[in-house]
Chains A and B, each alone.
Chain A
């Protein structure tokens, strides 16, 4: 590790200049999904910034148990950053604070602190590990359509109750079955597909659809088998060192390919590669490389519409679709127009907007397990908004949101099918080939 100068992740003092930008105007309160449910100052960016200030002025200890819980009570959805008139970089602040807690007390301490929020502590470790590798691994590979968590999971979070379901788990991960390289004749570009864990383990069909769509558009696809998790799950838990290691390994892997671009189908992965890597690798020998790769990262919708020559979908899909904006896709990657544009191009498809398409779905990585009550309330509002559109399909650009929405629609009733933008596109291309135009 060669950290030459200090970053917010290494030295809390450097957070001062980030904290001071907050003028306590309260604008963030109007958009924070957690505040909307809990109505406490500590739920929102402004209150957490005040806690940061209190830590620095030694008014409160960084391992104060309530404080730790409050600092982790954040979805890192970045909604507040968009509403902030003062340009407060709240992502750095919250990750900096979490990282300081982890540095001071270690990961086990944090787990234990968050644990108090969970029902059964011994299972947390097991659960978290499995969770990091995506929740699918919790399940036995038996084949009911709707998966209920096995007995031992029930104890972990109140979210794992009798109503909790997960999408069908595939026996084979996406990267197990995909080719390292998919060649096309006369390629217009070569793109690296960064699958992310959710697609790899839980939604491999989204991966298949992406490959299908890119091939239709004459793009050669490289899917390195050895690529890692994007690092977001460990990063949001304050384990910046591990996140750094993961980021570096991924960059090494990217550099071994001849890829011109990196394409993602997950808001969080895209956001990690494009925005988080350059930040966490600041002042390391990877900084410039991270920045260079960050410029080549595109969400699939932007890649199709803005980077390459896009083949318009002609196949008919008679569907009423509503689109959910993933927080990281919209608020971090600023992608919200392109997916809608793509959907509107599909013949037969009508797009109906829900009340607040960019309201968080409540997932927030493991947030929906550790802070199950708040998360459920956020999820419920989303489910109600989706139902109100009477759409037959809800579509989004992030598999983590797909999972959460799938779960909450089931819980709160609603027979809307959940899918990914790229899957609808693939379907349209396929219908076109089948002559259904």
Chain B
């Protein structure tokens, strides 16, 4: 319960200027970027500046059984930071220091509130790169991306957040401060806690410091765009490229609805009769190997009846990327709102998934534009909707159910990168079964016996 006393104690811990209590301020913490989920206004928002303050807050919350909701930038697409049962929102926006860049051990140590793009700006001075690059990287925090195990455009070649976390400091829901991992490449001491906490969506502990792995930034890159008259050809191009042992950094797809919408909106010169478009970028340290990979891609595109354009200069590269960057903005213009899904299938099932989504769109008379990370089988079917039209919204919910069903039936997963949160909680059992749910509950109860940390997310505590 949050009462005067609780708030006074918060002010003692965090200082007046780091505690928000006015209703108007609190309303601005009732959402994240997820459409169509319930909102709730928190009782108080605090801005920690160090680990000790968080520990003190945990003690206070445990005594009073007050739920705590960690929040990075609030760009989550599954409801993670929404304070469903009021309680305390911890915003990490002021705990945003890059503590160290160690170019010899190839690590960076950061506080959780550091914005991903800013981390990259800092390490680029050493010629290094922190590869996870979610579309939201200009705002999303390292803490939030760790908690969601965020992916990005470079996932195919470079992996996702979990591949770049070497250790952390966590404040446990029981109040202990726990550090694990470190700067060593190898570390098999104890359980692999890094992988337990990455992707835990703020339900198991509060991440207060993160050791990130860096890599040398690739020196050369080559981008191209290819168009296909048949979805099957685009799909085969994707698998053929990988089968030929070329692993592009970026291998993105856009379907016809998306192509037409982008062309309509941005006039970048896309052929509106194409069924699919692939944006491919290869990169590496050697000029020759990058050239070779690019040539190989072109060969495969041609074999699969694709037409292509290859970027010779940086500005040509930018204009190719412009089409991909315009995808979401363009789709967003068509209707008042968009629902962006995240179903993911094995690479070889990409075409089946795309066709499945098109059939669902047709069945319900909805407009769905699909684009996404083809190389990862990670698609973003984007439903264009009018939330004020309740009839349409009823169809939308059914369509979303069927999209998930299709993904699972193709051996895929509910979420490739956006997480479960509240948005996909009801589908969870369909993928991991009874035993999976029970295991999750046991882990949650063992670490957070009072269920105070981000309750109502990721782990269904009741059937």
Residues of A within 8 A of B (CB): 16-17, 20-21, 23-27, 29-30, 39-42, 46-48, 50-51, 54, 59-60, 64, 66-67, 70, 85-87
> A24 to B329, Cβ gap below 8 A?
no
Shortest CB distance A289–B (Å): 29
Which residues 88-140 of B sit at the A interface, judged by CB distance below 8 A? 91, 93-94, 115, 117, 136, 138-140
> B75 to A30, Cβ gap below 8 A?
no
> A29 to B139, Cβ gap below 8 A?
yes
- Against A, the Cβ 8 Å flags (1 = close, 0 = not) of B23-35 are 1110111111111
The residue that B136 contacts in the complex, of A16, A25, A66, with Cβ under 8 A, is A25
- Against A, the Cβ 8 Å flags (1 = close, 0 = not) of B335-372 are 01110000000000000000000000000000000000
> A86 to B332, Cβ gap below 8 A?
yes
- Against A, the Cβ 8 Å flags (1 = close, 0 = not) of B137-166 are 011100000000000000000000000000
CA distance A16 to B34 in the complex (A): 19
Residues of A within 8 A of B24 (CB): 42, 51, 60, 64, 66-67, 70
The residue that A40 contacts in the complex, of B28, B30, B35, B338, with Cβ under 8 A, is B28
Residues of A within 8 A of B388 (CB): 16, 20
> A30 to B115, Cβ gap below 8 A?
yes
- Against A, the Cβ 8 Å flags (1 = close, 0 = not) of B269-307 are 000000000000000000000000000000000000000
> B33 to A25, Cβ gap below 8 A?
yes
Which residues 14-55 of B sit at the A interface, judged by CB distance below 8 A? 20, 22-25, 27-35, 41, 47
Residues of B within 8 A of A17 (CB): 336
> Is B216's beta carbon under 8 Å from chain A?
no
Q: Which residue of A lies closest to B27 (CB)?
A: A54
A41 in contact with B74 given A26-B33, A50-B31 (CB within 8 Å): yes
Residues of A within 8 A of B257 (CB): none
CA distance A59 to B352 in the complex (A): 45
New A-B pairs, 9, CB < 8 Å, besides A23-B337, A26-B74? A21-B337, A25-B33, A26-B136, A40-B25, A42-B28, A50-B28, A50-B30, A64-B24, A85-B329
A20 in contact with B387 given A51-B27, A59-B27 (CB within 8 Å): yes
A and B contact pairs by CB, cutoff 8 A, 23 listed: A20-B336, A21-B336, A24-B31, A24-B34, A25-B75, A26-B74, A26-B136, A30-B115, A39-B93, A40-B93, A41-B28, A42-B24, A46-B28, A51-B24, A60-B23, A66-B22, A66-B23, A66-B24, A66-B25, A70-B25, A85-B332, A86-B329, A86-B338
Judged by DSSP, the binding face of B is: loop
> Is B328's beta carbon under 8 Å from chain A?
yes
Q: Which residue of B lies closest to A19 (CB)?
A: B336
The residue that A60 contacts in the complex, of B27, B32, B387, with Cβ under 8 A, is B27
The total of chain B residues at the interface (CB under 8 A) is 37
Taking each of B35, B93, B387, which has the highest tally of chain A beta carbons within 10 Å of its own beta carbon? B93
A51 in contact with B33 given A21-B336, A26-B136, A30-B138 (CB within 8 Å): no
Residues of B within 8 A of A67 (CB): 24
Shortest CB distance B459–A (Å): 24
CA distance A112 to B90 in the complex (A): 32
Shortest CB distance A100–B (Å): 15
CA distance A84 to B239 in the complex (A): 35
CA distance A70 to B26 in the complex (A): 12
Q: Which residue of B lies closest to A20 (CB)?
A: B336
Residues of A within 8 A of B399 (CB): none
Q: Which residue of B lies closest to A70 (CB)?
A: B24
> A24 to B32, Cβ gap below 8 A?
yes
Residues of A within 8 A of B27 (CB): 50-51, 54, 59-60
- Against A, the Cβ 8 Å flags (1 = close, 0 = not) of B154-186 are 000000000000000000000000000000000
Residues of B within 8 A of A (CB): 20, 22-25, 27-35, 41, 47, 73-75, 91, 93-94, 115, 117, 136, 138-140, 328-329, 332-333, 336-338, 387-388
> A39 to B31, Cβ gap below 8 A?
no
Shortest CB distance B173–A (Å): 25
CA distance A47 to B387 in the complex (A): 20
The residue that A87 contacts in the complex, of B30, B115, B333, with Cβ under 8 A, is B333
Residues of A within 8 A of B31 (CB): 24, 50
Q: Which residue of B lies closest to A59 (CB)?
A: B27
Residues of A within 8 A of B337 (CB): 20-21, 23
A30 in contact with B25 given A21-B336, A39-B93, A87-B329 (CB within 8 Å): no
Shortest CB distance B269–A (Å): 21
CA distance A25 to B338 in the complex (A): 11
CA distance A24 to B74 in the complex (A): 9
Shortest CB distance B381–A (Å): 16
Taking each of B24, B30, B94, which has the highest tally of chain A beta carbons within 10 Å of its own beta carbon? B24
Q: Which residue of A lies closest to B387 (CB)?
A: A20
CA distance A290 to B217 in the complex (A): 52
Shortest CB distance A33–B (Å): 15
> B28 to A30, Cβ gap below 8 A?
no
A-B CB proximity, top 5 nearest: A47-B28, A41-B28, A85-B329, A39-B93, A30-B138
Residues of B within 8 A of A87 (CB): 329, 332-333
CA distance A411 to B11 in the complex (A): 33
Residues of A within 8 A of B30 (CB): 50
Shortest CB distance B162–A (Å): 23
Shortest CB distance B176–A (Å): 28
CA distance A41 to B29 in the complex (A): 7
Residues of A within 8 A of B41 (CB): 59
CA distance A27 to B333 in the complex (A): 16
Residues of B within 8 A of A85 (CB): 328-329, 332
Residues of B within 8 A of A26 (CB): 33, 73-75, 136, 139-140
Q: Which residue of A lies closest to B39 (CB)?
A: A50
CA distance A85 to B31 in the complex (A): 18
Q: Which residue of A lies closest to B386 (CB)?
A: A20
Residues of A within 8 A of B74 (CB): 24, 26, 41
> A51 to B28, Cβ gap below 8 A?
yes
Q: Which residue of B lies closest to A39 (CB)?
A: B93
> B332 to A30, Cβ gap below 8 A?
no
Shortest CB distance B328–A (Å): 5
Shortest CB distance B306–A (Å): 28
CA distance A194 to B287 in the complex (A): 56
Shortest CB distance B78–A (Å): 13
Shortest CB distance B136–A (Å): 7
CA distance A17 to B336 in the complex (A): 8
